[in-house]
Every structure is written in C-alpha cells, then in structure tokens.
A = this chain, B = another copy of it.
Amino acid sequence: MHRVRVKVVEGVLDANDTIAAANRADFDAAGVTVVNVMSAPGAGKTTLLERIVRELGDLRVGILEGDVCGSLDADRLASLHVPVTQINTDPGFGGECHLDANMVRSAIPSLPLDEIDLLVVENVGNLVCPAEFRVGEHRRVMVASVAEGEDKPLKYPLMFRACEFVLVNKIDLLPHLDFDLERFLANLDAVHPGVERVLTSAKSGEGIDAWREWLLRAAAREPAIA
C-alpha cells in the first residue's frame, strides 16, 4: 500500500514538472518573468505585496493569487488597481494545499500576459508542498515570520532550500518575542548556505526598499540572482 502511494506521488511530480516547463515556455514567449512567493499561513505575503506593487516604476505587474477558497487577498490587491487572477484549490477535494503547474496552466488564458512584465504568484500558505510543485516560475521567494520561531528552517528544510530569496518578516515584533535572530540565520545557513535574505517589516517599512529592489532585479533577470 505504502509503496503504491509513493509511486503515484512520484508520477504526479513528474507530470507536474512537464507542465511547469510548458508554462515557463509560454511565459518566456510573452516576455513575462514569474516569481513564486511562498510562506506559512499569515507570514505576510499579501501585505508585503501591497507595500511595493504600486512602486515598481515602469514595470507592469500582475498577480496570480492562490487560495484554498475565497478571494480575500485577491480583493485586497485588486483594490490597488493591479490585474489579479484568482485560483481556488478547493474543487479537487477538501482543498489542495499548494498550487501546481496544471492549476497555473488552466489560469494562463485568463492572464493579461501582453500587458505585464512581471507576474507574482502568491502561493497557498504552507511550508511543505508548495516547495515541491514548480508552477513554471523563474524565481522563488519565501517569507518567514519571526513569530513562527527560529527552528523553522530545520523543520521545513526543503522550503528554505527551494527559494532564492528569504524575507524575514514582522521584525517589528522582535522586542516582544523569544526569538533568537542569530540562531534563525544560522539555521537558515545550515540548510541553504548564503541564501540572499532581508529583514522586513511591513509596519515599520524596514527592508521594503530591498524587497522592491530584489523584485526589480528579478524582473530584469539580473545574473546576480540567477
């Protein structure tokens, strides 16, 4: 039983990679860079996007919003007058815990690819499966809230390893938490040595410029973050 289940899962992942490659070819043909943003629930993905999405200069950005159900985050971002497309993952069964390449493929006809340069995919809040399912993105970012504790890189290593950029968010809470920032950064380096990271707070504004600059570099496909 167990062996059968694992084979099915591996088959799903192989199929996913094939579809992800097709998605990426379509994005490349349209000249659109895709950034996949991942985190645990409530780490601050949407708020971090709200903070920079209208301050990207000439860069035209669109959002692909993944949620189990509802459109709360999509509504927040749409109110900023950027094009937002919603994927809900719940038709499958009780709700898929991640976006996969086929869901994104289904959304491509709804995306205004001719009108954007950068597509930001906000994944379902989860530190496990989103790291396993590529969706056709060029870059992967993760947001880790300091409220989650400094052990998370050790407990969810694939997620911290799968990304090219880590936003260590909600640092305005540091004075109120038993959170050892040095230990968190050492844990991060233990699973992904030297990965680019920035400390951020959507509340105080710290690190928001660096986050915006990183996105601009990602959109320009600068080799420094290749």
- A145 at the A/B interface (Cβ < 8 Å)? yes
Docked complex Cα distance between A178 and B5 (Å): 43
Docked complex Cα distance between A54 and B128 (Å): 31
Cβ–Cβ < 8 Å partners of A131 in chain B: 94
Contact of A42 among B72, B152, B173 (CB under 8 A): B152
Contact of A69 among B157, B170, B178 (CB under 8 A): B157
Closest to A69 in B: B157
- A182 at the A/B interface (Cβ < 8 Å)? no
Cβ–Cβ < 8 Å partners of A206 in chain B: none
Chain A residues packing against B (C-beta within 8 Å): 1-2, 5-6, 8-10, 12-13, 15, 40-42, 67-70, 72, 92-97, 102, 124-129, 131-132, 145, 147-149, 151-152, 154-158, 170, 172-173, 176-178, 203
